[in-house]
Structure 1
């Protein structure tokens, strides 16, 4: 019995709509409840794997000379599933058999260096600030500064565990250095951390750094990791101010136009509170152009009572006579008594009728243009 319980795995969502509870009826109250539970993750997510192999494609509308309207783009299922797992604390995580060494916490306590570079956290915080070339081209430190419950491509870095997270959140010295590391990366992006509540603004160096960030797409993956790590280590409230700033700069001020899709497809969905996501997405919808191409609003509702089958021409057919009704019932009974349809055949018929792709993420997905090389993830 214990093995049966231990082997049970929760059903993973198979569509973008199942992954996204932002506009669902269960989240319309704008209450304080978050989505996460006590699960843990164990491996690289599908979206990160796609980024690592460079198989992503640009899904932004492209100019065309054809008079035909541009086809409507789709959200990335892999991105939606990746962020769903994060927000729900990786429900299908299998606990590692390796002993919990708290290596992320020990690194932040300045007791061990990051591997493979052999650099201690205090050296990074005191000597790397303003060294933008080092922060840009070194690809090993980011997973140590912002650990997650996912394994990235720096296999020397260790995944967080629930026990380590609890210990980290109760250790003042580690939390102080974590905020300093966050401030270090914000400065690299041209942003200033204003206070302990997480408010941010443009830094004095914003123009040059924004120009670099707009052209340096692999940093969008780093930002996704930073946002996730903030939530894991007790700084969930820091996310919304940063995402709000990126929405303003990318949609309103046009200083980060290349970041638009990443903000909406990834950054917003790292936020666990549905009410906060809705607020940010409502703001984005007001400023997104063209408005009809906005993909992240509430799903359109079908008119009640319409099934889309058996559309009428508006002319009512005459009611059948009692004799005609009796003959139809006899005919139906005769046919049904000779035909047996298995559940498998029923599914096949649905597939032939066009229902198949709904259960196949590979046919539904359209990878976003910002799923980049996973050197930092």
Structure 2
């Protein structure tokens, strides 16, 4: 019996809709999270509103005069699945058989240096701030500053464990340095951390740094990692203010236009509380251009805020059969040129393409640690 329980694996989602509980309900609690003091109020989803009024959902196709966007964009299943696993605390996570050395915690206690550079956390915090060339071109520190329960591309960095997370969250010195590291990276991006609740604003150097960030797409991967790590180490409330700022700058102020898709496809979905995600997506919908191309709304056509801008019709097709999935995969090479892909996904594809056969999920595990250690996590 013990072996059967130990080998049980949670069923993983197979569609974007199964990965995304923002507008519905699943195991992600819709109640207020203990750590969520971001100040973003809870919104009521269309599903909840209909339940409260006793109205049934109309799932029939809705007529629309909005033309289809060209080229047509679509949501990334790989992004949705990755962030589903993160929000659900890696349901099929296997505890390592190696002794738990708490290397991430010891690094933040300034007891061991990051590998392979041999640099201690205090040196990074005191000497690297404002050294934007070093922060841009060094690709080994980010996995140490913002550890996760998943392997990055620096194989010298260690994955977090459940026990280490608990110990880290109860260690004041480690948490103090972690916030300082977060502030260091925000300054690199032209952003200032205002207080202990996680509120942020433009820094005095924002113009030059935003211009750089708008063209430096690999930093979007770093930001996704930073947001995930904030949630793992007890700073979930810090996420929403940063994502809100990125939405405002990319959609309203046009200072970070290249970041739009990454904010909506990745950054928003690192947030674990569905009500907070809904609030951010409603804000995004009101400012997204063209409105009919907005992909991240509820499954049925609903008004988006007071402006009355409609969300995408979102009529969900039945889940594809295994045979349909196989045919889609075989024909993907012929249609990929017609699909517009975000810069975030493009960077990931470029990393794989440079290393070997494109799209091979086993590629990373077959490469040498030294080669992958030079790449971004």
CA separation of 1:346 and 1:93: change in aligned 2, threshold 3 A:
closer
- Decide which structure has the larger Cα Rg and report it: 1
User: Could you report, residue by residue, the CA deviation over 1:41-85 in whole angstroms, capped at 9, with x for unpaired residues?
Assistant: 999999999999999999999999999962532100000000000
User: Could you report, residue by residue, the CA deviation over 1:6-31 in whole angstroms, capped at 9, with x for unpaired residues?
Assistant: 11101000000000000004599952
2:293 corresponds in structure 1 to: 293
TM-score by length of 1: 0.72
User: Could you report, residue by residue, the CA deviation over 1:107-147 in whole angstroms, capped at 9, with x for unpaired residues?
Assistant: 00000000000000000000000000000000000000000
CA–CA separation in structure 2 for the residues paired with 1:206 and 1:128: 18
Alpha-carbon distance, 1:360 to partner? 16
CA separation of 1:330 and 1:152: change in aligned 2, threshold 3 A:
closer
Contact 1:14 1:360 in 2 (8 A): no
Question: Structure 1: which 5+ runs fail to align?
Answer: none
CA separation of 1:352 and 1:258: change in aligned 2, threshold 3 A:
closer
Contact 1:108 1:178 in 2 (8 A): yes
1:212 corresponds in structure 2 to: 212
CA–CA separation in structure 2 for the residues paired with 1:161 and 1:226: 17
User: Could you report, residue by residue, the CA deviation over 1:272-311 in whole angstroms, capped at 9, with x for unpaired residues?
Assistant: 0000000000000000000000000001279999999999
User: Could you report, residue by residue, the CA deviation over 1:312-363 in whole angstroms, capped at 9, with x for unpaired residues?
Assistant: 9999999999999999999999999999999999999999999999999999
CA–CA separation in structure 2 for the residues paired with 1:251 and 1:208: 19
Contact 2:140 2:154 in 1 (8 A): yes
The structure 1 segments of at least 4 consecutive aligned residues displaced by more than 6 Å after TM superposition are: 34-68, 301-374
Contact 2:73 2:339 in 1 (8 A): no
Alpha-carbon distance, 1:235 to partner? 0.1
CA–CA separation in structure 2 for the residues paired with 1:37 and 1:372: 37
2:67 corresponds in structure 1 to: 67
CA–CA separation in structure 2 for the residues paired with 1:78 and 1:273: 21
Contact 1:57 1:367 in 2 (8 A): no
CA separation of 1:137 and 1:317: change in aligned 2, threshold 3 A:
closer
CA–CA separation in structure 2 for the residues paired with 1:133 and 1:329: 40
Contact 1:211 1:256 in 2 (8 A): yes
Give the length in aligned residue pairs. 377
Show the 5 A alignment for 1:115-194.
Answer: 115-194=115-194
Structure 1 stretch displaced more, 95-104 or 334-343: 334-343
User: Could you report, residue by residue, the CA deviation over 1:241-299 in whole angstroms, capped at 9, with x for unpaired residues?
Assistant: 00000000000000000000000000000000000000000000000000000000001
CA–CA separation in structure 1 for the residues paired with 2:310 and 2:93: 46
Alpha-carbon distance, 1:163 to partner? 0.2
Structure 1 stretch displaced more, 167-176 or 42-51: 42-51
Structure number with higher relative contact order (C-alpha < 8 Å, ≥ 6 residues apart) = 1
CA–CA separation in structure 2 for the residues paired with 1:235 and 1:131: 26
Question: Structure 2: which 5+ runs fail to align?
Answer: none
Structure 1 stretch displaced more, 352-361 or 236-245: 352-361
CA–CA separation in structure 1 for the residues paired with 2:168 and 2:139: 24
CA–CA separation in structure 2 for the residues paired with 1:222 and 1:326: 32
SS of the aligned residue for 1:201 comes to strand
Contact 1:250 1:257 in 2 (8 A): yes
Contact 2:251 2:284 in 1 (8 A): yes
Alpha-carbon distance, 1:375 to partner? 2.6
Alpha-carbon distance, 1:196 to partner? 0.2
Alpha-carbon distance, 1:36 to partner? 13
1:348 corresponds in structure 2 to: 348
CA separation of 1:17 and 1:100: change in aligned 2, threshold 3 A:
same
Structure 1 stretch displaced more, 39-48 or 337-346: 337-346
CA separation of 1:273 and 1:72: change in aligned 2, threshold 3 A:
same
CA–CA separation in structure 2 for the residues paired with 1:333 and 1:218: 24
SS of the aligned residue for 1:336 comes to helix
Q: Over the residues paired in the alignment, what is the CA RMSD in angstroms? A: 16.5
Contact 1:59 1:73 in 2 (8 A): no
Alpha-carbon distance, 1:2 to partner? 1.0
CA–CA separation in structure 2 for the residues paired with 1:45 and 1:317: 21
SS of the aligned residue for 2:318 comes to coil
